[in-house]
């Protein structure tokens, strides 16, 4: 097949195994999610980590031995944007460290990827696989960011993007899908309704379904954030080319990002490129409680509970990659933490005003999680922590204005009427 280290897929529910290319969707036996497998022992023997860390190509495609596609072949003829996905900055949060008395806090800012969210990693991988497999239409359900990313990556690589989004999708994300030429269906319902409609349309029209939890290639794109974090930490220290932090904190909706970032570290560990695994902490919205309740009950089955949080990126009624998210947290010794809407809005202002980093509410959940984990002693102040930031604040400016309008935090909010300038407060 395309990549000599990629050995196939295993179903995370029933354990059935499939050869590369045998299936590109959910498990044909039970409908469960598939997880791509590789020969890590051979990667460890045959691939020089230094060659990847020092490659002049800084995109996700330099991790080719860990990928289920052959980037050189799949992206031949594609525009540059899809070939430049990756290498988002790892920012040392020095002012937050000082305030919390912590020693090493890093922000992995994926708001600075091409479509301004983490989802570029997944959509780029899916589009590359679509080209490789000759698929011309890719459909996805999304709360906004996955679809915006799919629209961008499709625009510069060929396939037609078809998108199903809930009516609550912020205008910023919607405008991205439209301007990049995707066909957009605004569903009169929730994200979970969009997921169902997208699956039905794919079954009917033969489109390839990119939706989270159905398409095994999204996690393969998302894991590149984990690979990059370890490489950037290695470079910061100047020792081994890859290095793991003590803890990673990730906002969680469907659970595909946390399971992906965790997979990146698991792979480096399996190849012998890092010495230990970081602990993973998942942060869910209090107003999207399905995954958190399953975690508390110690089960991997999820009730459908209507989500009402303003944090669109993590607003799910039932997580579509929940079991893998729970395993990422449980197997590494972390826990799940909940964040309220008010806490996320306050965290947005905090990150923006302490570090100059502008994030959307879902993303700010990671910062809420860190504050709580430090307060409760789950993470010690001397530990090194990475916050996975997932989306730019410009995606959802209504929430940003709501956060900034909090009277306790804003200074000098100003309203301009036709001829007068009136200061609300100074």
- The site for Zn ion (CB under 5 A) is made up of 11, 13-14, 16, 27, 29-30, 32
Q: How far is the CB of 65 from ligand PLP (least distance, A)?
A: 24
Contact of residue 385 among Zn ion, ligand PLP, none (CB under 5-8 Å per partner type): none
145 touches ligand PLP by CB under 6 A = yes
Q: Which stretch binds ligand PLP (CB under 6 A): 53-61, 125-133, 185-193, 250-258?
A: 250-258
Query: Measuring CA to CA, how many Å separate 37 from each of 25, 70, 98, 250, 400?
Result: 15, 15, 42, 23, 40
Q: What does the alpha-carbon distance between residue 121 and residue 153 come to, in Å, rounded to a whole number?
A: 10
Residue 296 CA to residue 330 CA, distance in Å, equals 11
Give the CB-nearest residue to ligand PLP: 313
Residue window 254-273: x/- pattern of binding to ligand PLP, with contact defined by CB under 6 A: xxxx----------------
Check the CA dihedral 26-32-38-44 and report its sign: positive
Residue 11 binds which one of ligand PLP, Zn ion, none, with CB within 5 to 8 A depending on kind?
Zn ion
3-state secondary structure at position 44: helix
* Residue 14 binding result from Zn ion, ligand PLP, none, given CB thresholds of 5 to 8 Å by partner type: Zn ion
> What string of DSSP letters covers 298-319?
T-S---------S-GGG--SS-
Nearer to ligand PLP, 7 or 259 (CB): 259
Q: Closer to ligand PLP at the Cβ: 241 or 255?
A: 255
16-24, 98-106, 176-184, 246-254 -> range binding ligand PLP (CB under 6 A): 246-254
Among 252, 261, 307, 347, binds ligand PLP (CB under 6 A): 252
- Classify residue 366 by burial, with Cβ atoms within 10 Å: 0-12, 13-18, 19+: buried
Cβ atoms 385, 419 nearer than 8 A: no
Q: Is 211 near ligand PLP (CB under 6 A)?
A: no
Nearest alpha-carbon partner for 220 in 75, 81, 65: 65
Segment near ligand PLP (CB under 6 A), from 63-71, 95-103, 347-355, 360-368? 360-368
User: What is the three-class DSSP state of 115?
Assistant: coil
Instruction: Give residues in contact with ligand PLP (CB under 6 A).
Output: 117, 119, 145, 212, 251-257, 313-314, 360, 362-363, 390-391
């Amino acid at each position: 097949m395309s990549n000599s280290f990629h050995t196939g897929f295993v179903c995370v529910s029933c354990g059935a195994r499939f050869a590369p290319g045998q299936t590109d969707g959910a498990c044909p036996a039970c409908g469960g999610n598939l997880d791509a497998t590789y020969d890590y022992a051979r990667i460890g023997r045959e691939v020089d980590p230094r060659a990847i860390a020092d490659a002049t190509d800084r995109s996700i495609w330099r991790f080719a031995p860990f990928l289920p596609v052959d980037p050189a072949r799949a992206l031949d003829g594609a525009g540059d944007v899809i070939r430049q996905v990756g290498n988002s900055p790892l920012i040392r949060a020095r002012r937050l460290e000082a305030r919390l008395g912590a020693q090493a806090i890093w922000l992995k800012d994926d708001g600075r990827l091409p479509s301004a969210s983490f989802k570029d990693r997944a959509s780029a991988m899916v589009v590359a696989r679509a080209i490789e497999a000759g698929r011309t239409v890719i459909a996805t359900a999304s709360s906004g960011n996955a679809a915006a990313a799919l629209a961008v990556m499709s625009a510069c690589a060929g396939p037609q993007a078809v998108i199903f989004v809930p009516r609550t999708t912020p205008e910023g994300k919607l405008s991205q899908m439209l301007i990049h030429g995707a066909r957009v269906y605004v569903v009169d319902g929730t994200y979970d309704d969009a997921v169902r409609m997208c699956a039905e349309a794919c079954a009917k029209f033969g489109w390839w379904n990119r939706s989270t939890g159905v398409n095994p290639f999204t996690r393969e794109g998302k894991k590149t954030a984990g690979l990059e974090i370890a490489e950037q930490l290695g470079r910061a220290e100047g020792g081994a080319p890859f290095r793991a932090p003590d803890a990673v904190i990730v906002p969680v909706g469907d659970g595909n990002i946390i399971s992906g970032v965790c997979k990146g570290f698991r792979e480096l560990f399996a190849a012998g490129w890092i010495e230990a695994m970081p602990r993973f902490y998942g942060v869910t919205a209090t107003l999207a409680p399905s995954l958190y309740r399953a975690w508390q009950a110690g089960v991997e089955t999820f009730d459908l509970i209507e989500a009402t949080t303003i944090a669109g990126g993590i607003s799910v009624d039932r997580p579509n990659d929940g079991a893998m998210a729970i395993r990422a947290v449980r197997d590494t010794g972390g826990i799940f933490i909940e964040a309220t809407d008010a806490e996320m809005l306050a965290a947005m202002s905090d990150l923006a005003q302490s570090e100059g980093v502008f994030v959307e509410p879902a993303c700010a959940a990671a910062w809420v999680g860190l504050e709580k984990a430090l307060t409760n002693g789950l993470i010690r102040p001397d530990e090194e922590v990475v916050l996975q930031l997932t989306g730019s604040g410009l995606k959802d400016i209504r929430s940003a204005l709501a956060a900034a309008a909090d009277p306790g935090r804003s200074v000098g909010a100003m309203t301009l009427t036709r001829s007068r300038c009136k200061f609300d407060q100074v």
